[in-house]
């Protein structure tokens, strides 16, 4: 029996429990995102409490991103070796300990420790959750469930912006953070009891003959599809980081809008990304029959036109137009992530998904480290329009690269839905 036939015959028997797994993975990822994005809302409080300047605070946040990139590779290999469950528990524990330190030891040096632990925890979460979903969901549902699971990132980012000011005012920021720590450790405790690594019928049979043709991580990474896909994902990551770092300050400085309105535009972008991750997952699974390349190219094209539309705005654009452009920027620059994860996971296959994703996204997330400084330097020299043009050029290159991948797939007679 073919592997795809084994998969399709396995899942219906486990269809109820797969949604338990989905709930655990999605909830944990959302809580992790709340912690990860909390540095922005906490920035004014931390700066005042510890008496540090913007440069020092920026260095702390950069430490978190740097560790996240570095940890991606070893955590991917560890996920494949020890399984998604143990890496999920380790990931959440590191994040919980990081924010346990934050209110209890509010000193400058401890901020670096907390940021490093948070980056390490968040650098593991994508590999662990992707491996879990790959085992528990059949191919024609993966992009959809991955899209829904990935909305936890944007929803978590939106929720923390409300949670910190509101609960901070009621109980103080230290207790508000500690409450989140209690919640995430509670979820991890439940996960330790209820999370199962894979459906029982997918577990290796003791009598099964060992596979002598083991596929190496290196051989997968050297596939032409992944060789072209890696820089494309890096370009997407650069654009996403530039949007989240500069949208609020661009609107505030260019159109002299209040920080409240500028923050609302950022929230709209996050909502656009949330909707996009689900919608384009459904489009990929249903409309395009498992094709991940065409929806990614469509998202890149939306980003090109959205970025270019910004430079044609006058000094006093109508507010509805700014909200609409922000939404489309979010759809494109925040919505690509889940499709990319599914595409990489399907190319890698169930057994090596963690290792391949770890290497690939360590490179791609590097774009988030270099993107904002480059974008900032460009707008300092030539103004914001030059920065938006840069994003449109990068996304245009992504469209061209995805077209090349499409041709490679056809040339190699690879099915577009590359079921592992």
Q: Specify the higher pLDDT residue, 143 or 123.
A: 123
How many domains does the chain divide into?
2
Domain ends where: 149, 165, 199? Answer: 199
Residue-wise DSSP of 117-171: HHHHHHHHHHHHHHHHHHHHS-HHHHHHHHHHHHHHHHHHHHHHHHHHHHHHHHH
Residues 193 and 147 reside in one and the same domain = yes
Residue-wise DSSP of 303-330: HHHHHHHHTT--SS--HHHHHHHHHHHH
HSE (side-chain half, CA atoms, 13 Å) at 10: 20
Instruction: Tell me the range of 72-81, 365-374, 387-396, 400-409 where mean pLDDT is highest.
Output: 387-396
Is residue 205 in some structural domain?
A: no
Residues 153 and 294 reside in one and the same domain = no
SS3 60: helix
Give which of 271, 255, 62 is closest to 155, Cα–Cα. Answer: 271
Provide Rg for the chain, Cα atoms: 21
**Per-residue pLDDT tens digits for 385-395:** 998 999 999 99
Residues 194 and 248 reside in one and the same domain = no
Q: Is 395 exposed, middle or buried (0-12, 13-18, 19+ CB in 10 A)?
A: buried
Give which of 272, 275, 291 is closest to 283, Cα–Cα. Answer: 291
Residues 240 and 185 reside in one and the same domain = no
Is residue 318 in some structural domain?
A: yes
Residues 221 and 188 reside in one and the same domain = no
Q: How far is CA 314 from CA 243, 265, 297, in A?
A: 20, 17, 29
Give which of 281, 346, 355, 366 is closest to 127, Cα–Cα. Answer: 355
How many angstroms from the chain centroid is the CA of residue 194? 25
Is residue 147 in some structural domain?
A: yes
Angle subtended by helix axes 337-348 and 293-310, to nearest 10: 150
Residue 6 pLDDT class (50, 70, 90 cuts): very low
Domain ends where: 168, 199, 230? Answer: 199
Note down the domain range covering 175: 1-199
pLDDT value at residue 8: 43
Is residue 212 in some structural domain?
A: no
Alpha helices in 208-352 (DSSP H): 217-221, 224-255, 259-282, 293-310, 319-333, 337-348
Residues 117 and 260 reside in one and the same domain = no
Is residue 210 in some structural domain?
A: no
pTM: 0.72
In SS3 terms, 346-361 reads as: HHHCCCCHHHHHHHHH
Supply 405's token pair: 């991948």
Residues 169 and 259 reside in one and the same domain = no
Residues 271 and 383 reside in one and the same domain = yes
Residues 181 and 241 reside in one and the same domain = no
pLDDT above 80 for 404: yes
- For the chain, the average pLDDT equals 80
**Per-residue pLDDT tens digits for 70-89:** 888 888 888 888 888 898 99
Residues 181 and 277 reside in one and the same domain = no
CATH number of the domain that 64 lies in?
1.20.1250.20
Residues 169 and 267 reside in one and the same domain = no
Residues 271 and 179 reside in one and the same domain = no
Cα 362 from Cα 358, distance rounded (Å): 6
pLDDT above 80 for 50: no
pLDDT above 60 for 209: no
Is residue 259 in some structural domain?
A: yes
Is residue 206 in some structural domain?
A: no
């Amino acid at each position: 029996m073919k592997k795809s036939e084994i998969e399709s015959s396995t899942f219906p028997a486990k269809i109820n429990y797969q949604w338990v797994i989905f709930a655990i993975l999605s909830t944990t990822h959302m809580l992790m995102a709340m912690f990860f994005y909390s540095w922005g809302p906490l920035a004014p409080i931390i700066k005042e409490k510890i008496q540090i300047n913007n440069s020092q605070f920026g260095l702390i946040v950069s430490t978190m991103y740097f560790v996240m990139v570095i940890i991606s590779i070893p955590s991917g290999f560890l996920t494949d070796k020890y399984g998604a469950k143990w890496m999920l528990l380790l990931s959440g524990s590191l994040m919980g300990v990081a924010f346990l330190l934050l209110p209890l030891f509010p000193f400058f040096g401890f901020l670096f420790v907390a940021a490093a632990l948070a980056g390490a925890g968040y650098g593991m979460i994508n590999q662990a959750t992707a491996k879990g979903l790959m085992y528990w969901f059949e191919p024609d549902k993966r992009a959809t469930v991955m899209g829904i699971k990935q909305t936890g990132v944007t929803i978590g980012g939106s929720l923390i912006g409300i949670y910190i000011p509101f609960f901070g005012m009621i109980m103080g920021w230290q207790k508000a953070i500690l409450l989140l720590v209690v919640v995430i450790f509670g979820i991890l405790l439940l996960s330790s009891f209820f999370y199962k690594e894979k459906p029982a019928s997918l577990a290796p049979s003791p009598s099964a003959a060992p596979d002598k043709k083991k596929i190496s991580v290196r051989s997968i990474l050297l596939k032409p599809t992944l060789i072209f896909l890696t820089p494309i994902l890096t370009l997407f990551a650069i654009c996403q980081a530039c949007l989240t770092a500069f949208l609020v300050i661009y609107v505030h400085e260019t159109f002299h809008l209040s920080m409240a309105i500028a923050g609302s535009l950022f929230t709209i972008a996050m909502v656009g990304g949330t909707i996009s991750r689900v919608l384009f997952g459904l489009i990929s699974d249903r409309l395009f029959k498992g094709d991940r390349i065409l929806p990614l190219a469509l998202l890149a094209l939306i980003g090109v036109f959205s970025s270019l539309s910004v430079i044609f705005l006058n000094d006093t654009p109508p507010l509805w137009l700014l909200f609409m452009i922000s939404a489309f920027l979010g759809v494109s620059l925040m919505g690509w992530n889940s499709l990319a994860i599914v595409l990489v996971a399907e190319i890698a296959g169930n057994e090596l998904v963690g290792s391949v994703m770890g290497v690939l996204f360590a490179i791609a997330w590097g774009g988030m480290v270099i993107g904002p400084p480059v974008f900032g330097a460009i707008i300092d020299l030539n103004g914001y329009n030059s920065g938006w043009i840069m994003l449109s050029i990068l996304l245009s290159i992504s469209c061209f690269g995805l077209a090349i991948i499409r041709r490679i797939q056809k040339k190699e007679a690879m099915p577009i839905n590359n079921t592992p």
